[in-house]
Structure 1
């Protein structure tokens, strides 16, 4: 994530790449995309990342469900 980038912009950029990978045959589940998003966030989101990892089940959570709390924190 770029330091001046919003969560919405970052989410859009990640989903474009994820969809490109899916089009060429890569098996990419939501959990993997969610993990990539959480690992790539700016350090100002560290607190919310830890809270999400501890309280939510990333295996069943969609990427769209992940973005909501991140935007609220933003």
Structure 2
């Protein structure tokens, strides 16, 4: 019984270690939508929590903010300057970033339309 528990504990520790590494190296991909990136990040974070490791919201929020593409740099600065990350929720961050992304996309599409019209 003791041996079986130790083996299970080792497997759990190894899986948790792999998830920690996956979380550390997680980056937003070029062209990836904000909701897709949040889903990937939260999936890994939830797996880590499922193994019993405590993960504060602020850790996840900071990870998301530092691993976004450079396209969002000014938005990240704005979020960090105007919010207390210790009290900001993941849902609030996601909502804010989705609004910014929609604005960026609508402006980008408008620019493309203007270029098509002039040519």
Same fold (TM over 0.5): yes
**Cα deviation code 1:18-62 (max 9, x no counterpart):** 000001111101000000000110001000100110110110111
Q: Of 18, 26, 50, which aligns to 2:77?
A: 50
Aligned to 2:91: 64
Whether 1:15 aligns to 2:15 is no
Whether 1:28 aligns to 2:43 is no
Gaps of 5+ in 1: none
1 or 2 for the larger relative contact order (CA 8 Å, sep ≥6)?
1
- Choose 1 or 2 for highest CA Rg: 2
- Over the aligned positions, Cα root-mean-square deviation in angstroms equals 0.6
Aligned to 2:8: none
For residues 48 and 68 of structure 1, what CA distance do their matches in structure 2 show?
A: 13
More helix as a share of residues: 2
For residues 30 and 64 of structure 1, what CA distance do their matches in structure 2 show?
A: 10
For residues 46 and 4 of structure 1, what CA distance do their matches in structure 2 show?
A: 15
